Amino acid sequence: MPYIQFEKIQIGPIIVYVWGIFLVLGILFVLFYSLRKSKSSGIDSNLIIDAFFWLLIGMVMGARLGHVLEYLNYYLSDPVGTLKVWQGGLTFHGGLIGLLLAGIIFAKVRRISLETFFKTADIIALSAPLGIAIGRIGCSLINDHIGKETFLSWAIAWPDGVMRHPVAEYLILGNILIFLILRFCNKPGLLQKPGRVFFAFLFLYSVMRFFLDFTRSGDSLYFSLSTAQWLSLAVILGIIIEKLIKRSFYQLKKKTMKKYKFVILVLLLILVLIGAGCSKSPKSFYKKVCKTAVPFQEKLDDFYGSGGSDFGYYDDVDECIEECLEKEQELYEECLYQECLKEEDEDKCDDAKKDKGYKGLEKLADPEDCQETIDKIREFTAEVYTREGCEDMYGVKCVSYKPSVESKKYLSSREISEMEDQYDDCMKDIEELCGDLPEKF
């Protein structure tokens, strides 16, 4: 498949983003489909419209908050940036949580019955997969989901020459399939009980997302799974456990059932939070570092003038990520090449490097040693943009002001005092410069 990147349409001074167009189209589809379905379900159309307004706000706020929490250090240094939604930065599961919370609050405010709540949720959930599929068309056109390398015939040929999984297209087809399953099952005797369509949608989407995320690249990995996979797994297990408990303990009193549900909620929360390990994704790692590095470099210019950073200057986060990844790949490939020369003929190593780059060299050389080198490079890169690393690096500039023991023998008390004051002022500047940086990544 050819690589496509159609990001925006410019009409004079007006810029319309393609992803935003399909997002709005997907939302409108869900709204109008739900209004049409509400007539045959006995639900007031005004209730659908009111609920949709609440859910939309909750979804956007949750999706944005999820992104902000993921890059909290960056947004603490730029609080106004949290409001710049048009610059990108939304998470699906954050939006899902925000949507659910907004739905619960809406039900409490409007004092609607549990049955009406779940009937409304069923109507919206029935069309949600196709609405999401429409939105994912925008993702496909801008190619914002990086797939893992593959040699399948339908792979996308990226500009770097690597054939990758078409992740957005998988998500489109997966959501269409879920929509068809829900439509087929939404018949008398199958998913007629209020709430069943809603939970069926959550279950099917979570299963789909869990497996499809194995074809994605660039996401943060915690114990070999992405955040989306952990959340999907939590939803899957939550629904399964809930059904098992209802079957096994259907005679228990309501208060006892509530206790079991609370325990389940706590266990699922623990399941989601156990991904507190270190990210294994290079892109995700450099994204975190660059979110800190770019604004820090601007601050550094105020202290030392343009080009004050010893590690290059980047105009934006994307440029920073791209250059860091390119440098890492070059170093990794060169390391593999040198390891290959130790074991194989030079011509064989040259051919492997020319044909498939580092992927070809990995078959001839042990990548373990080179991976250790890359890990050290990442560790050093991250350390530069931590508070302690910054103070160590730029604090050296203050050393010249501090009188040594030997120099004190030849300086007057006034000169020593002046130099010590200069040193203290310099260190205060360094503390101010480095104060907003994180303790670690």
pLDDT digits (tens, 9 = 90+) for 152-193: 888 888 776 778 899 989 999 999 999 998 888 876 555 667
Q: Could you report the per-residue pLDDT of 19-28, keeping only the tens digit for each?
A: 888 888 998 9
Least Cα distance to 289 among 82, 134, 79, 438 occurs for: 438
| SS3 call for 156 | strand
Rounded Cα distance between 436 and 171, Å, is: 39
Helix 167-185 with 114-142: angle, nearest 10 deg? 150
Average pLDDT in the chain = 77
Predicted confidence band of residue 252 (pLDDT cuts 50, 70, 90): very low
Q: Which of 47-61, 246-260, 348-362 has the lowest mean pLDDT?
A: 246-260
pTM for this prediction: 0.57
pLDDT at 384 over 50: yes
Least Cα distance to 148 among 282, 41, 286 occurs for: 282
Task: Indicate whether 320 and 343 sit together in one domain.
Answer: yes
The 10 Å Cβ neighbour count of residue 169 is: 18
Average pLDDT over residues 362-383: 74
Task: Indicate whether 224 and 151 sit together in one domain.
Answer: no
Asked if 324 contacts 289 with a C-beta cutoff of 8 angstroms, the reply is: yes
Q: Could you report the per-residue pLDDT of 63-76, keeping only the tens digit for each?
A: 888 778 766 766 77
Alpha carbon separation from 365 to 64, 135, 191, 338, 371 (Å, rounded): 43, 43, 55, 9, 12
More confident residue, 440 or 123: 123
Least Cα distance to 201 among 235, 229, 172 occurs for: 235
Average pLDDT over residues 388-403: 77
Least Cα distance to 331 among 288, 380, 291 occurs for: 380
Q: Which of 6-10, 235-239, 308-312, 351-355 has the lowest mean pLDDT?
A: 308-312
Rounded Cα distance between 76 and 80, Å, is: 9
Task: Indicate whether 257 and 378 sit together in one domain.
Answer: no
Q: What is the pLDDT of residue 88?
A: 59
Highest mean pLDDT among 70-84, 338-352, 394-408: 338-352
Rounded Cα distance between 3 and 143, Å, is: 8
Asked if 281 contacts 427 with a C-beta cutoff of 8 angstroms, the reply is: no
Q: What is the pLDDT of residue 276?
A: 36
Q: Could you report the per-residue pLDDT of 208-224, keeping only the tens digit for each?
A: 999 998 888 766 677 77
Q: C-alpha 271: how far from its chain's center?
A: 18
- The reply to whether 366 falls in a domain is yes
What percentage of the chain reaches a pLDDT higher than 70? 79
Average pLDDT over residues 121-131: 90
Task: Indicate whether 84 and 138 sit together in one domain.
Answer: yes
Asked if 402 contacts 426 with a C-beta cutoff of 8 angstroms, the reply is: no
Task: Indicate whether 25 and 73 sit together in one domain.
Answer: yes
Residue 408 structural domain:
388-441
Q: What is the pLDDT of residue 172?
A: 93
- Domains in the chain: how many in total? 4
Rounded Cα distance between 168 and 6, Å, is: 14
Sign of CA dihedral 35, 41, 45, 50: negative
Paired sense of beta strands 14-17 and 8-11, if any:
antiparallel
Task: Indicate whether 176 and 257 sit together in one domain.
Answer: no
Asked if 280 contacts 232 with a C-beta cutoff of 8 angstroms, the reply is: no
Task: Indicate whether 60 and 136 sit together in one domain.
Answer: yes
- The reply to whether 130 falls in a domain is yes
Final residue in a domain of this structure, among 212, 228, 254:
212
Final residue in a domain of this structure, among 212, 233, 263:
212
Predicted confidence band of residue 86 (pLDDT cuts 50, 70, 90): low
Predicted confidence band of residue 129 (pLDDT cuts 50, 70, 90): very high
- The reply to whether 87 falls in a domain is yes
Asked if 38 contacts 44 with a C-beta cutoff of 8 angstroms, the reply is: yes
Task: Indicate whether 51 and 139 sit together in one domain.
Answer: yes
User: Which value, in Å, is the radius of gyration of the alpha carbons in the chain?
Assistant: 28
Type of residue found at 375: D
Residue 418 token pair: 């002046």
Predicted confidence band of residue 277 (pLDDT cuts 50, 70, 90): very low
Type of residue found at 370: C
Predicted confidence band of residue 441 (pLDDT cuts 50, 70, 90): low
Q: What is the pLDDT of residue 293?
A: 80
Predicted confidence band of residue 262 (pLDDT cuts 50, 70, 90): low
pLDDT at 335 over 60: yes
Final residue in a domain of this structure, among 227, 258, 277:
277
pLDDT at 263 over 80: no
Q: Which of 61-75, 277-291, 380-394, 417-431 has the lowest mean pLDDT?
A: 277-291
Predicted confidence band of residue 422 (pLDDT cuts 50, 70, 90): confident
Predicted confidence band of residue 286 (pLDDT cuts 50, 70, 90): confident
Q: What is the pLDDT of residue 399?
A: 76
More confident residue, 259 or 288: 288
- The reply to whether 1 falls in a domain is no
Asked if 398 contacts 437 with a C-beta cutoff of 8 angstroms, the reply is: no
Give the residues across from 221 on adjacent strands.
226
Task: Indicate whether 51 and 13 sit together in one domain.
Answer: yes
Give the residues across from 9 on adjacent strands.
16
Task: Indicate whether 236 and 154 sit together in one domain.
Answer: no
- The reply to whether 291 falls in a domain is yes
Q: How many CA atoms lie within 13 A of 244 on its CB side?
A: 8
pLDDT at 36 over 90: no
Rounded Cα distance between 81 and 75, Å, is: 6
pLDDT at 267 over 70: no
- The reply to whether 2 falls in a domain is no
Task: Indicate whether 134 and 24 sit together in one domain.
Answer: yes
Asked if 216 contacts 146 with a C-beta cutoff of 8 angstroms, the reply is: yes
- The reply to whether 413 falls in a domain is yes
Looking at residue 85, the DSSP 8-state letter turns out to be G
Task: Indicate whether 246 and 316 sit together in one domain.
Answer: no
Paired sense of beta strands 156-157 and 221-222, if any:
unpaired
pLDDT at 312 over 70: no
